Amino acid sequence: MIDIKLMVKEASEVIHILEKQGYEAYFVGGYVRDKLLNRNIKDIDITTSAYPSNVMDIFTHTVPTGLQHGTVTVVKENYHFEVTTFRTESQYEDFRRPKEVQFVGNLVDDLERRDFTMNAMALDVKGTLIDPFGGKKDLNSNILKCVGDPKLRFSEDALRMMRAIRFAAEYDLQIEKGTWDALVLHRQAIKHVAMERVTAELDKMIDGADPNRGIQLLIDSELMEYTKEHLQIHKRNWSALSNHRGLNIFQYIEDANIRWTLLFMMLKIETDQMKALLKKLKFPNKKNLSIHTIFQARDWLNERTYLEINWKQAVILYGEDTVKNIYTFLESIADDYSLLELLSFKMSKADFEQILQKGLGWLEDIQIKKINELAIKGNDISSLKTEPGPWIRAVLDQLLTEVALNQLANKHEELLNRAIQIVRGMNENE
């Protein structure tokens, strides 16, 4: 857990040390913005007139994290701080990276290169605000506005368009007309940005304060039509979400993976599309598996009635977390059964109400939920056939299902006898 007072104290020490050596140094960027908004502080960045070599000479513990961009990480006792030399940027390549970085001695020149006015403010160590581009005024007016010419800002770095949408959603800001018009004008440039970077912004947005707003801005801008990887989400599916009351369910769900799953369901993504889509988005494997498994479990349940036996069997097949996640977003639409169609769930209203009333209790009733909880192991049954193979896992899966459904006691002797019966049936069917 972050100790804000301690973090600020150590960052202030860094600034004091730089000033004692004759350099200027200031708090900058997100820390200043979030401090003005009384939001939680996650980290603190510092900008200085000192060159990277000066910073590394002055401080004992440093990491050269981005020397080409003038950044050195100063490591203090409890926290570390990115310290970046005042700089200007020019000749951007591929709508993303500056080809040339030039160190300058003027703070305002450094602030001028930044994306939005709310991110182009600085604080000195005494708390005096340096705000040459009206960032505080824009924040007070709930306005998101580019520094300088928005067409130039977006042509320099196309990822700024994603950041504009994320910031507008996160901070409940209206995007200034000139900034919005420039975003729409340059939206095709997003194809130059690596999908990892686009997805990182999307993930922060979906996990943020108001994903509904972010999704609406994505729809209005049509930005997702032009990403480097074509996501094959039809434009009409995005449009169908516009102002849809179903988006309100995001506010009841905290987990980002479940929010993503709901979004894909609303966009009518089919289960067989999911692997390709997730691969294009370049999510981590763990996130991919979580989302895809929920889709599979939904489809499996849709082929059956939502009764206790099937609900419990879904736990065995797809995992307790998956079924709990399904329960979570069913619970989030408890007052609006009609939203089930939006999420492609095929269940009667009676089944829906029964799951909400009894679903969690059914989960608690399951004796065991994993193979390693069985009172028998693969080695115990491997001698029941002459050759080892996948049949061992199939037998264990069957035993787990029967124990979980209270059809069989989790006792070694009874499990072994049942395993013999299952193997005998396998042999007869071969």
pLDDT tens digits for range 403-415: 998 899 999 999 9
- The reply to whether 276 falls in a domain is yes
Nearest Cα neighbor of 209 from 264, 263, 250 is 250
Is 283 a member of any domain? yes
Instruction: Decide if pLDDT at 247 tops 90.
Output: no
pLDDT at 98 over 70: no
pLDDT at residue 307, as a whole number: 85
Query: Hunting for tokens 């169609």 — which residue is that?
Result: 341
Residue 163's identity, in one-letter code, is R
Question: Tokens for 391?
Answer: 């049949």
Length of the chain: 430
Amino acid code (one letter) for 357: Q
Are residues 359 and 376 located together in one domain of the fold? no
Tokens of 320: 């307790």
**φ, ψ for residue 45 (rounded to 5)?**
-110, 150
Q: Kindly report, residue by residue over 337-375, the tens digit of the pLDDT.
A: 888 888 899 999 999 999 999 999 999 999 899 999 999
pLDDT for 90 = 65
Same domain as 418, residue 329: no
Confidence of residue 35 (pLDDT cuts 50, 70, 90): very high
- Is a pLDDT exceeding 90 seen at residue 134? yes
Q: What single letter denotes the amino acid at residue 328?
A: T
DSSP-based three-state secondary structure for 326: helix
Range of the domain at 323: 248-366
Specify whether 73 is located in the same domain as 192: no
> Which CATH number do you get for residue 397?
1.10.246
| Average pLDDT along the chain | 91
| No. of helices (H) and no. of strands (E), the chain | 21, 11
* pLDDT tens digits, 323-336: 999 999 899 889 88
In this structure, are 126 and 151 located in the same domain? no
What is the spatial distance between Cα 238 and Cα 267, in angstroms, rounded to a whole number? 6
Same domain, 385 and 353: no
**Residues 130 and 15 placed together within one structural domain of the fold:** yes
Q: Is the residue at 424 inside a domain?
A: yes
CB 117 within 8 A of CB 15: no
Answer yes or no: are the C-beta atoms of 282 and 196 closer than 8 Å: yes
Q: Which of 366, 389, 410 is the last residue of a domain?
A: 366
Q: Which amino acid is at 360?
A: L
Max intra-chain CA distance, the chain:
88
The angle formed by the CA atoms of residues 275, 281 and 287, to the nearest 5 degrees, is: 65
- CATH number of the domain at 166, please: 1.10.110.30
Same domain, 260 and 199: no
Our count of domains for the chain comes to 4
C-alpha to C-alpha distance for 115 and 300, rounded to whole angstroms: 47
Using the 3D structure, point to which of 118, 135, 152 is the last residue of a domain.
Answer: 135
Residue 243 lies in a domain: no
Q: Does 236 map to a domain?
A: no
Last residue of a domain, one of 72, 105, 135: 135
* Confidence (pTM): 0.88
Residues 10 and 104 both lie in one domain: yes
- Which pLDDT belongs to residue 121? 98
Confidence of residue 244 (pLDDT cuts 50, 70, 90): low
Closest Cα to residue 261, out of 316, 317, 207, 197? 207
Cα-to-chain-centroid distance, residue 85: 31
Q: Are residues 407 and 378 in the same domain?
A: yes
Tokens of 161: 């368009």
355 occurs within a structural domain? yes
Specify whether 150 is located in the same domain as 176.
yes
Q: 70 and 2 in one domain?
A: yes
E strands present in 226-299:
none
Residue 29 lies in a domain: yes
What CATH number did the domain enclosing 48 receive? 3.30.460.10
Residue 243: is its pLDDT beyond 70? no
- Chain-centre distance for alpha carbon 185: 27
Round to whole Å and give the CA distance between 96 and 91: 10
Q: 166-204, pLDDT tens digit by residue?
A: 999 999 999 999 999 999 999 999 999 999 999 999 999
Residue 181 lies in a domain: yes
What's residue 1's pLDDT?
A: 82
If pLDDT is split at 50, 70 and 90, which confidence band does 95 have? Answer: low
Same domain, 224 and 260: no
The yes-or-no verdict on residue 423 having pLDDT over 70 is yes
Higher pLDDT, 234 or 294: 294
